[in-house]
Amino acid sequence: MTLGRLYLVPNTLDFGMDGQTVDLREVLPDAVIAQAARLTHWAAENAKTTRAFLKRVDGVHPLALPLQQQQILELPRPPKGRTPAPSASDDAAWQALLAPALQGTDVGLMSEAGMPAVADPGARLVAAAHAAGVPVIPLVGPSSLLLAVAASGMNGQSFAFVGYLPTDGAARQARLKELEAHSAREQQTQLMIETPYRNSALLQALIQQLKPGTVLSVSCGLSLADAWTHSAPVSQWKKSPKSVPDKVPAVFAFLAGR
Amino acid sequence: MTLGRLYLVPNTLDFGMDGQTVDLREVLPDAVIAQAARLTHWAAENAKTTRAFLKRVDGVHPLALPLQQQQILELPRPPKGRTPAPSASDDAAWQALLAPALQGTDVGLMSEAGMPAVADPGARLVAAAHAAGVPVIPLVGPSSLLLAVAASGMNGQSFAFVGYLPTDGAARQARLKELEAHSAREQQTQLMIETPYRNSALLQALIQQLKPGTVLSVSCGLSLADAWTHSAPVSQWKKSPKSVPDKVPAVFAFLAGR
């Protein structure tokens, strides 16, 4: 029997941005919207946002199956945004998500925003697909990380996404020192994110703790109407402070001098 | 006077893939194609491929200005794929690329494939835009790196793109050891690329030199019709070898065990 495929379906980046909803056609290729409309089985970070997404898809390309008849199962939830610690106990739950593909039906993997399995849960399902021989098809869509690298004007030949920094002040400072040294040694752009309500706190820590010559870039609300990116040496951020709103998703990046 | 903006316009990933040309609507959002059609001034990695791209754009959304009348200037060329070493001598050339924006006209930055300024030249123009106060707008499109992270099933909470490895055997082996140790310490997925005709050589080096338990992922021709991703521990790659064609763009990724 032919196995189904696992499609990695990107979502928009307007999650939680009331009043700033983007048209799907702003950020997703037409063929990707059409492919999403053909799928009937989903592994979702969140079933509710997946349903909302499919309603928007239906407005562009009619769904193959009415929303009520689609199978939408949620991923087992690791602590949001931290590296998931695999446990044997939820192996069965992950296998259930893959079951339709093993029986020949394509499955879509979706997260609440952007590319699934990138800075988001789902990698474990992708790994399970590879182990089972299920073809994995990533579809093109928005990634705030990728957009932020391009928009930063920093080194795009070498860059790292390091996730979240520790929230504890001393631990965060130690981690920043470590990342800044690595950035200087490898000339590697370092990217990180924060839960939006801590955006300002992270920006202040970066400005105060990075070296004056390190270039710091903040990208805010990428792909949304009011998106902006500001890149300047830390010494300039100190002279002319610029604030980052605490409700909008932001990506922070820096590149240390040699 | 209002400054123009610098749009980062993504290209398709079918560069050099004769007979595997994709429809723009497969990989670019409609609004991105429409925005590309509105631009009349370009800073391009390659003028010829930019013209070819604009012809495809014109087939979806008519160009605001006929192709012959568009201003397409090429970026000063650093050694392809290596970290550019800025020299004072080509400062003027970079400033010329930005000149239309300083006079109020939007400029598009394009590379031969994928996102400009990511694993491609152009970051210096973006940095110059920031220094001059020119708003930088990255548009959504395909990035083989981002797609490869998602499709690998490896850690998408921490990953690094490290560019090209040294081609000299001993230097490459030393670099691989260093990256594998870093990957183990940080639990960070490491991504690299190679000029396609050396794909097989790189794959062999990875299989022979990485530890048996390190997971290795190869993504080949992403976003094209025959795209595939294969992820497995190095020990499995050794048992059932899988070849990577020497003409198709590929992304290599690995994640070492703790």
Q: Does residue A57 contact residue A33 with C-beta atoms inside 8 Å?
A: yes
| Alpha-carbon distances, residue B238 vs A66, A97, A136, B177, B232 (angstroms) | 46, 30, 22, 18, 10
B83 has pLDDT over 60: no
The one-letter amino acid at A117:
A
Chain length of chain A: 258
* Nearest CB partner across the interface for B160, out of A123, A160, A222: A160
For the stretch B182-230, pLDDT in tens is 999 999 999 999 999 999 999 999 999 999 999 999 999 999 999 999 9
Residue found under tokens 């922070």: A252
Which candidate from A27, A120, A157 shows the least CB-CB separation from B140?
A: A27
As a whole number of angstroms, the distance between CA A150 and CA A135 comes to: 29
Does any CB of chain B come closer than 8 Å to the CB of residue A40? no
Q: Identify which of B83, B153, B186 has the shortest CB distance to residue A187.
A: B83
Give A-chain residues touching B129 at CB under 8 angstroms: 153
Kindly determine whether residue B138 and residue A229, on different chains, have CB atoms separated by under 8 Å.
yes
User: pTM (2 decimals)?
Assistant: 0.95
Contacts of B213 (CB under 8 A, 6+ apart): B233, B234, B235, B256, B257
Between B141, B150, B162, which is nearest A8 by CB?
Answer: B150
Whether residue A227 lies within 8 A of chain B, CB to CB, comes out as yes
Contact assignment for A160 to B163 by CB distance below 8 Å: no
Q: Is A75 on the interface with B (CB under 8 A)?
A: no
Classify residue B129 by its DSSP letter: H
pLDDT (tens, 9 = 90+) of chain A, 258 residues, equals 799 999 999 999 998 887 788 999 999 999 999 999 999 999 999 999 999 999 999 999 999 999 999 999 999 976 555 555 555 557 788 889 999 999 999 999 999 999 999 988 899 999 999 999 999 999 999 999 999 999 999 999 999 999 999 999 999 999 999 999 999 999 999 999 999 999 999 999 999 999 999 999 999 999 999 999 999 999 999 999 889 998 899 999 999 998
Element (H, E) at B230: strand B228-233
How far off is chain A from B71, nearest CA to CA, in Å?
22
- With an 8 Å Cβ cutoff, is A126 touching chain B? yes
Identity of the residue in B31, B126, B151 whose CB atom sits nearest the CB atom of A136:
B151
> What domains appear along chain B, each with residue ranges and CATH number?
6-138 (3.40.1010.10), 144-255 (3.30.950.10)
Residue of B nearest to A6 (CA): B151
Residue B31 in contact with partner chain A when CB distance is under 8 A? yes
Name the minimum distance, in Å, from the CA of A158 to any CA of chain B.
Answer: 5
Helix (H, G, I), strand (E, B), or coil: what is residue B7? Answer: strand
User: Considering only CA atoms, which of B161, B167, B207, B160 is closest in space to residue B187?
Assistant: B160
What is the residue-wise DSSP string for B183-197?
Answer: HHHHT-EEEEE--GG
Distance of residue B129 Cα from the nearest chain A Cα, in angstroms:
8
Interchain CB contact of A242 with B (< 8 Å): no
Give the C-alpha separation, A155 to A151, whole Å: 11
